Structure 1
Amino acid sequence: MEDKLHQRIFVAGHRGMVGSAIVRRLQALGYSNILTASRDELDLTAQPQVQAFFARHAIDQVYLAAAKVGGIHANNTFPAEFLYQNLMIEANVIHAAHQTGVHRLLFLGSSCIYPKHAEQPMREDALLTGMLEPTNEPYAIAKIAGIKLCESYNRQHGHDYRSVMPTNLYGPNDNFHPENSHVIPALLRRFHEAKVNEDPEVVVWGSGTPMREFLHVDDMAAASVHVMELDADTYAAHTEPMLSHINVGTGVDCTIRELAETIKRVTGYTGELRFDASKPDGTPRKLLDVSRLNALGWQAGITLEAGLQDAYQWFLENQNRFRG
């Protein structure tokens, strides 16, 4: 155990929401040799820099959490950047890991890899069975390519590169931008500002009936480390060579109305909650099948309300970042 805790682990994307949570998790477990690099120190889209970085450091494991991410507006506006940058990041890191003899790597993807009309809850074998959601297709294609890169390096070179696909994540270090954030940080900020301004109501787009699954990022980090630490035989027994990714989620969803009501309670907002049914709802339901992960001995432990309280507290402590 002590030798394992001294392995040199590179967490790519350590300043992002997921990467920072993985660093916290590893530190809590006693790992003492965690390697990180800021964007100024290492441009992951630049192959020579990545190759030199891996050659310079004797890396034992890699958590590949770095990615260009954004909401629907950003994905629609900059599809070329989302496809190019994510392809470059994963190709450079995975290939450099191979070149320098890194045997174990964990690639973090997204539930958007699954077809727009995939059967619910979405199983791992739904991959590549239908058309993707058009608004984030470039990002999804890049993440699918990352899964297939891992599988291909495993098949050709005998590595142990694994992939995890999280559901909708939230928590500390989330993006609370008023226009470009996802639903939980957007609503946390909206309800908070409505409370401060004593607004009589908060309007939420849509009917409130769509169902979504949400996972606190600390649970995501715990699941990632759990999957990474599984012995090769156990992991292989629950995956397939050409279907090696694992869904990560709670296995439980809620309506957007239930989410908004919980956020109203967490933030202490006392005004009215109104839904604007003239605005689009989006996909009726998005839920991951997490039976494969559960069979590997892990399940989520942070309830939605407890997770929202934690995320709101982090926002309160860091809201100066988001002014303007």
Structure 2
Amino acid sequence: MMKVLVTGGSGLVGKAIQHVVREEEGAREGEEWIFLSSKDADLTNKEDTRAVFERHRPTHVIHLAAMVGGLFKNMKSNLEFWRNNVYINDNVLQAAHEAGTVKVVSCLSTCIFPDKTTYPIDETMIHNGPPHESNFGYSYAKRMIDVQNKAYFQQHGRRYTAVIPTNVFGPDDNFNIEDGHVLPGLIHKAYLTQKEGKPLTVWGSGTPRRQFIYSLDLAHLFLWVLREYSEVDPIILSVGEEDEVSIKEAAEVVVECLAFKGEVVYDTSKSDGQLKKTASNAKLRKYRPDFKFTPFKQAVKETCDWFVANYDTARK
């Protein structure tokens, strides 16, 4: 019997895993899935976290819960990002250990990698230098999960691990223009400016490059990691280096998918953040050489269609 508890189950990746488990490949026989949202427990609180783990006693955990935000929210609130995420991660990992959970798969981010580095980055380079100063609070808090996983393995033999996805997007994303990530923010902005007949303003120069991963592809890979990946060392979940796109190219795909007819302008007074974070998916390809990623344009179209259809209830 495998009892899987998903923290952050109502967020972008949690909803994608829920969709895959319930609508696509389905839960396997003998698997029970529980999706927690922030309403179920305050994971920054040790007692709250312990209580929810004692109630469910999961054998496996997918840990997605985090305080997250886009570039500008991170730049303003590094202290809050550090403290809240350190509390959440320590509480979840320790409560899992106390409840006898055999496997925890936590979710990191490519922003944890050193700012000054060689490319492509890979799993061995996480701790090689300071992260980008724009989001150092979040980045260091996420890095500490890897440190803690190694310590649980060394002292208790726990196989707690972590995945490192590149920029995730898809249905159920946070489409907030001020605080959200670049792609959902662009989709929302293009939708509004189309209605208002105004130009679409893209923040920054459009030159930074990113690897985007569709949330449903990531969900399939999460299930594989949970069931079959046995390393404690983390694994990058990403499209290949050849699939990296610039913010300008991403904006052009959004414009096409929403049939946006107005002018597109770039506000270079806004920060670009990191210019590139190119990640290697060689380790993933060693394990899963045949995994097929959804083409970027198709995934953006499906996300845009979902946003338009669910505009009234989407997070924004």
The two structures have a TM-score, normalised by structure 1, of 0.89
Which residues in structure 2 correspond to 1:156-235 (within 5 Å)?
156-199=155-198, 201-230=199-228, 232=230
Between the aligned partners of 2:106 and 2:259, the Cα distance in structure 1 is 38
The alpha carbon displacement at 1:24 in A equals 2.0
The alpha carbon displacement at 1:207 in A equals 3.2
The alpha carbon displacement at 1:231 in A equals 5.4
Between the aligned partners of 1:57 and 1:278, the Cα distance in structure 2 is 49
1:29 aligned to 25, 29, 43, which one?
A: 25
SS at match of 1:49: helix
Q: Answer yes or no: is the 8 Å Cα contact 1:249–1:300 preserved in 2.
A: no
Which residues in structure 2 correspond to 1:140-151 (within 5 Å)?
140-151=139-150
* Structure 2: gaps of 5 or more residues: none
Structure 2 residue aligned with 1:89: 88
Q: Answer yes or no: is the 8 Å Cα contact 1:250–1:300 preserved in 2.
A: no
* Structure 1: gaps of 5 or more residues: 1-5
The alpha carbon displacement at 1:183 in A equals 1.1
2:307 aligned to 307, 312, 315, which one?
A: 315
Q: Answer yes or no: is the 8 Å Cα contact 1:47–1:92 preserved in 2.
A: yes
Structure 2 residue aligned with 1:18: 13
Are the structure 2 counterparts of residues 156 and 258 from structure 1 closer, same or farther at C-alpha, using a change threshold of 3 Å?
A: same
Q: For each residue in 1:25-46, what CA deviation from the matched residue of structure 2 results, as whole angstroms up to 9, or x when unmatched?
A: 2223332511133323211111
Name the Cα RMSD after superposition.
2.0
Between the aligned partners of 1:40 and 1:212, the Cα distance in structure 2 is 33
Are the structure 2 counterparts of residues 157 and 319 from structure 1 closer, same or farther at C-alpha, using a change threshold of 3 Å?
A: same
Q: For each residue in 1:67-87, what CA deviation from the matched residue of structure 2 results, as whole angstroms up to 9, or x when unmatched?
A: 110112222322222111111
The alpha carbon displacement at 1:268 in A equals 0.3
Q: For each residue in 1:4-59, what CA deviation from the matched residue of structure 2 results, as whole angstroms up to 9, or x when unmatched?
A: xx521101110111112122222233325111333232111111222222223231
The alpha carbon displacement at 1:278 in A equals 5.2
Are the structure 2 counterparts of residues 254 and 38 from structure 1 closer, same or farther at C-alpha, using a change threshold of 3 Å?
A: closer
2:256 is equivalent to residue 265 of structure 1: yes
Q: Answer yes or no: is the 8 Å Cα contact 2:7–2:63 preserved in 1.
A: yes
Between the aligned partners of 1:30 and 1:256, the Cα distance in structure 2 is 35
Are the structure 2 counterparts of residues 19 and 323 from structure 1 closer, same or farther at C-alpha, using a change threshold of 3 Å?
A: closer
Q: For each residue in 1:74-126, what CA deviation from the matched residue of structure 2 results, as whole angstroms up to 9, or x when unmatched?
A: 22322222111111111111111111211111011111110112212211111
Between the aligned partners of 1:159 and 1:132, the Cα distance in structure 2 is 28
Between the aligned partners of 2:209 and 2:159, the Cα distance in structure 1 is 35
Between the aligned partners of 2:122 and 2:166, the Cα distance in structure 1 is 12
Between the aligned partners of 1:138 and 1:281, the Cα distance in structure 2 is 18
**1:248 corresponds to which letter in structure 2?**
L
Between the aligned partners of 2:186 and 2:55, the Cα distance in structure 1 is 44
Identity within the alignment, %? 30
The alpha carbon displacement at 1:273 in A equals 2.4
Structure 2 residue aligned with 1:112: 111
Between the aligned partners of 2:114 and 2:315, the Cα distance in structure 1 is 37
Between the aligned partners of 2:39 and 2:250, the Cα distance in structure 1 is 38
The alpha carbon displacement at 1:280 in A equals 4.0
Between the aligned partners of 1:150 and 1:259, the Cα distance in structure 2 is 35
**2:8 corresponds to which letter in structure 1?**
G
Q: For each residue in 1:173-218, what CA deviation from the matched residue of structure 2 results, as whole angstroms up to 9, or x when unmatched?
A: 111112112111111112212222223x323233332211111111
Between the aligned partners of 1:279 and 1:68, the Cα distance in structure 2 is 23
Structure 1 residue aligned with 2:59: 60
**1:10 corresponds to which letter in structure 2?**
L
Q: Answer yes or no: is the 8 Å Cα contact 2:71–2:273 preserved in 1.
A: no
Q: Answer yes or no: is the 8 Å Cα contact 1:166–1:247 preserved in 2.
A: yes
**1:89 corresponds to which letter in structure 2?**
I
Of residues 48-57 and 263-272 in structure 1, the stretch that sits farther from structure 2 once superposed is: 48-57
Between the aligned partners of 2:215 and 2:315, the Cα distance in structure 1 is 23
Between the aligned partners of 1:132 and 1:297, the Cα distance in structure 2 is 29
Structure 2 residue aligned with 1:3: none
Q: Answer yes or no: is the 8 Å Cα contact 1:124–1:245 preserved in 2.
A: yes
Between the aligned partners of 2:4 and 2:314, the Cα distance in structure 1 is 31
Paired residues, number: 309
Between the aligned partners of 1:286 and 1:310, the Cα distance in structure 2 is 25
